[in-house]
C-alpha cells in the first residue's frame, strides 16, 4: 500500500510539472526576465501579407538552380520523400486581388516626315520648357510647322516637342557641331571657295546659314538651302545680327578696335554709310560690325536715320566751314564747302530767351567758360552773338529737350562738343534759322 501511494504521488507530481511547463513558455516576457542575467528579446508576430504579387504576363522562365525555380509537385514515389507535405490544418494563404492595368499611353499623331538640324539647338516641350539640346545634323521626326509661328513641332524621343524653325532643314546636314553664322554685309553664295566660282545665290545682311565645318582659307563652308556652298568669312559672324538694327554715320568716323579713342583704328565709315550694331550702346560707344570685324564707334557719330540735307538752309551751302543750326529738326551741322561733315542734337533758347536767328561769326572761343549770369559751366564755348555761344550742356545731357537754354546752342555730347571746338576756328560762319 505504501509503495502504491508513493508511486501515485510521483506520477501526480510529474503530471503537475508537465502542466506548468507550457504555462511558463507563454508567460509574460517581462516577468520571465526577472532574475535572468540576459533579458530575452520579445518576438513580435509578423503581419501576414494577404496579397501576392501577380506574375507578369509574357515573362520568360530563366534557367538556373532548382532553388531559383518554382517546382511542380510530383506524384512519383521517388520524389515524395524530398518534399514537405502540407498539413491539412494549415490554412491556405489568401490570394492578392488582381491589380487594374495602367491606362495605355496615348500615341502621338502620325509623323509627316523627318527634318534635320542645321545647327545646335534647344528642344522645348509644348509648354515652352527646355527639355534637351540637339545637335547639327540630327535627324528628327517632323509634324510640321506650328501654323505661322516660329516653331516647328517634332517627335523628340517619342514626345511632341518644338524647335525654332531657323534650325530646321528639310535635307540632311553634315554633323559639324557649330552654331549658325549670320551675314554682316550683303554677299554672294559661291559654289566653291573662290571668287571666280559660280555664284549660287545672293544673301542679304541679317540672314543666317548653317556651317559644314571650320573656316578654310578665308572661306566658310555652309549649308545653303540644303546644298553645300561657300561664303567669304569676312561677311560672317557667329553672333546674331538683327537685320534691321543698322546705324548711319552722321560724319566721317573712325572705327576703333575697342571702346576707346586711343585704341587701334580698324577702318573709317563715311558720312551716310551704315553699319550693323552688335549690341546696345554703352559708355558712350556703340559696338558695330565693320566688314566682318568687331569694332566700336562713338555714339555721337551715328544715328538710326540716314543724314540728309533736307533741313539745310541755303546760306549754309557757301563757306569753307559753316556751323549750321536748324531749329526745325533741332540739329547742329558742321559743313565744309556745302557738304555736311557731321551733325549733332542741339537745344535752343527757352521761351523768353530764344536764340536769335541770323548769320553770325565765331568771335571768341573759351574751352572752360563759366557763366556769371546763370552760374553754370559752359565747356567748349564758341561765342557768335553777344553772350550766345555753342557749347556743351550737362543740363541738356540730363534732361534733353524738356528744358531750354538761356539763348545758347547746347550740345549734349561732350565728345561732340570737343570735336566741334577743335574743328571751328575763330571767324567761322554760324547760321541760325
Q: Tell me, yes or no, whether 260 and 318 share the same domain.
A: no
CATH number at 225 reads: 2.30.30.40
Residue 332 lies in a domain: yes
C-alpha distance from residue 35 to each of 21, 30, 39, 127, 173 (Å) = 18, 10, 9, 72, 87
The answer to whether residues 173 and 206 touch, using CB atoms and an 8 Å cutoff, is no
Q: Is the pLDDT at 46 greater than 50, yes or no?
A: no
Q: Is the pLDDT at 30 greater than 50, yes or no?
A: no
Q: Tell me, yes or no, whether 273 and 371 share the same domain.
A: no
Select from 214, 237, 260 the last residue of a domain.
237
Residue 29 lies in a domain: no
Find the mean pLDDT for residues 163-182: 78
Residue 378 lies in a domain: yes
Q: Tell me, yes or no, whether 194 and 273 share the same domain.
A: no
Domain that holds residue 285: 246-303
Residue 424 lies in a domain: yes
Q: Which pLDDT value is given to residue 105?
A: 44
pLDDT tens digits along 6-21? 444 554 454 444 444 4
Name the grid cell of 144.
510640321
C-alpha distance from residue 2 to each of 10, 12, 13 (Å) = 12, 15, 17
Q: Tell me, yes or no, whether 318 and 423 share the same domain.
A: yes
Q: Which pLDDT value is given to residue 26?
A: 44
pLDDT tens digits along 265-296? 998 888 778 888 877 677 888 888 787 678 99
Q: Which pLDDT value is given to residue 311?
A: 72
Residue 78 lies in a domain: no
Q: Which pLDDT value is given to residue 45?
A: 45
Q: Tell me, yes or no, whether 216 and 117 share the same domain.
A: no
Q: Tell me, yes or no, whether 321 and 418 share the same domain.
A: yes
Tell me which of 51 and 417 has the higher pLDDT. 417
Q: Tell me, yes or no, whether 189 and 278 share the same domain.
A: no
Q: Which pLDDT value is given to residue 22?
A: 45
Q: Tell me, yes or no, whether 285 and 345 share the same domain.
A: no
Residues in CB range of 58: below 8 A, 6 or more apart: none
Q: Which pLDDT value is given to residue 123?
A: 94
Q: Is the pLDDT at 432 greater than 70, yes or no?
A: yes
Find the mean pLDDT for residues 381-389: 93
The pair phi, psi for residue 304, each rounded to 5°, is: -75, -20
Bridge partners for 125 per DSSP:
161
DSSP 419: H
Residue 355 lies in a domain: yes
Question: Mean pLDDT across the chain, nearest whole number?
Answer: 76
Residue 12 lies in a domain: no
Q: Is the pLDDT at 71 greater than 50, yes or no?
A: no
Q: Is the pLDDT at 374 greater than 70, yes or no?
A: yes
Q: Is the pLDDT at 85 greater than 50, yes or no?
A: no
The answer to whether residues 100 and 90 touch, using CB atoms and an 8 Å cutoff, is no
Name the grid cell of 141.
521626326
Q: Tell me, yes or no, whether 263 and 332 share the same domain.
A: no
Q: How many structural domains does the chain have?
A: 4
Q: Tell me, yes or no, whether 408 and 337 share the same domain.
A: yes
Weakest-pLDDT range from 4-18, 242-256, 386-400: 4-18
Q: Which pLDDT value is given to residue 211?
A: 84
Name the grid cell of 247.
546705324
Q: Which pLDDT value is given to residue 306?
A: 73
Q: Is the pLDDT at 383 greater than 70, yes or no?
A: yes
Residue 2 lies in a domain: no
Select from 283, 303, 323 the last residue of a domain.
303
Q: Which pLDDT value is given to residue 38?
A: 43
pLDDT band, residue 430 (cuts 50/70/90): very high
Q: Which pLDDT value is given to residue 55?
A: 43
**Cα–Cα nearest to 283, from 267, 250, 261:** 261
Find the mean pLDDT for residues 82-102: 50
Select from 237, 255, 271 the last residue of a domain.
237
pLDDT band, residue 60 (cuts 50/70/90): very low
Q: Tell me, yes or no, whether 325 and 409 share the same domain.
A: yes
DSSP 349: B
pLDDT band, residue 358 (cuts 50/70/90): very high
Q: Coil, strand or helix: which one is 317? A: helix
Tell me which of 307 and 338 has the higher pLDDT. 338
Q: What Rg, from alpha-carbon coordinates, does the chain have?
A: 46
Q: Tell me, yes or no, whether 149 and 191 share the same domain.
A: no
pLDDT band, residue 34 (cuts 50/70/90): very low
Q: Which pLDDT value is given to residue 305?
A: 73
Find the mean pLDDT for residues 380-386: 94
CATH number at 382 reads: 2.40.440.10
- Reported for 380-384, long-range contacts at CB under 8 A and 24+ positions apart, including other chains, are 380/411, 380/417, 380/418, 380/420, 380/421, 382/323, 382/420, 382/421, 382/424, 382/428, 384/323, 384/360, 384/430
Amino acid at each position: 500500500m505504501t509503495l502504491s501511494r508513493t508511486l501515485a504521488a510521483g506520477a501526480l507530481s510529474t503530471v503537475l510539472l508537465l502542466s506548468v511547463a507550457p504555462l511558463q513558455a507563454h508567460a509574460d516576457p517581462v516577468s520571465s526576465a526577472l532574475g535572468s542575467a540576459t533579458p530575452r528579446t520579445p518576438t513580435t508576430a509578423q503581419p501576414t501579407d494577404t496579397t501576392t504579387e501577380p506574375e507578369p504576363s509574357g515573362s520568360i522562365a530563366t534557367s538556373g538552380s532548382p532553388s531559383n525555380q518554382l517546382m511542380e509537385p510530383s506524384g512519383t514515389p521517388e520524389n515524395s520523400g524530398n518534399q514537405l507535405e502540407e498539413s491539412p490544418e494549415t490554412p491556405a494563404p489568401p490570394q492578392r486581388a488582381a491589380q487594374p492595368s495602367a491606362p495605355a499611353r496615348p500615341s502621338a499623331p502620325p509623323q509627316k516626315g523627318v527634318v534635320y538640324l542645321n545647327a545646335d539647338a534647344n528642344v522645348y516641350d509644348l509648354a515652352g520648357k527646355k527639355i534637351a539640346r540637339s545637335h547639327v545634323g540630327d535627324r528628327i521626326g517632323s509634324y510640321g510647322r506650328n501654323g505661322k509661328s516660329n516653331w516647328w513641332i517634332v517627335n523628340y524621343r517619342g514626345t511632341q516637342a518644338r524647335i525654332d524653325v531657323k534650325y530646321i532643314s528639310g535635307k540632311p546636314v553634315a554633323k559639324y557641331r557649330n552654331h549658325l553664322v549670320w551675314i554682316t554685309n550683303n554677299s554672294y553664295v559661291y559654289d566653291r571657295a573662290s571668287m571666280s566660282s559660280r555664284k549660287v545665290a545672293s544673301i542679304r545682311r541679317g540672314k543666317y546659314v548653317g556651317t559644314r565645318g571650320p573656316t578654310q582659307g578665308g572661306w566658310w563652308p555652309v549649308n545653303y538651302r540644303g546644298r553645300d556652298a561657300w561664303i567669304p568669312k569676312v561677311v560672317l559672324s557667329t553672333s546674331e545680327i538683327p537685320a534691321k538694327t543698322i546705324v548711319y554715320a552722321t560724319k566721317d568716323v573712325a572705327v576703333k578696335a575697342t571702346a576707346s579713342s586711343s585704341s587701334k583704328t580698324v577702318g573709317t565709315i563715311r558720312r551716310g554709310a551704315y553699319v550693323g550694331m552688335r549690341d546696345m550702346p554703352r559708355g558712350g560707344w556703340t559696338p558695330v560690325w565693320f566688314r566682318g570685324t568687331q569694332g566700336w564707334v562713338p555714339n555721337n557719330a551715328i544715328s538710326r536715320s540716314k543724314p540728309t540735307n533736307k533741313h539745310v538752309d541755303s546760306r549754309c551751302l557757301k563757306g569753307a566751314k559753316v556751323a549750321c543750326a536748324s531749329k526745325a529738326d533741332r540739329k547742329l551741322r558742321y559743313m565744309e564747302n556745302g557738304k555736311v561733315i557731321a551733325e549733332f542734337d542741339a537745344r535752343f533758347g527757352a521761351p523768353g530767351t530764344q536764340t536769335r536767328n541770323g548769320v553770325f561769326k565765331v568771335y571768341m572761343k573759351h574751352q572752360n567758360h563759366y557763366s556769371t549770369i546763370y552760374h553754370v559751366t559752359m565747356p567748349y564755348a564758341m561765342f557768335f552773338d553777344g553772350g550766345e555761344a555753342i557749347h556743351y550742356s550737362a543740363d541738356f545731357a540730363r534732361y534733353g529737350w524738356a528744358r531750354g537754354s538761356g539763348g545758347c546752342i547746347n550740345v549734349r555730347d561732350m565728345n561732340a562738343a570737343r570735336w566741334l571746338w577743335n574743328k571751328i576756328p575763330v571767324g567761322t560762319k554760324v547760321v541760325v534759322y
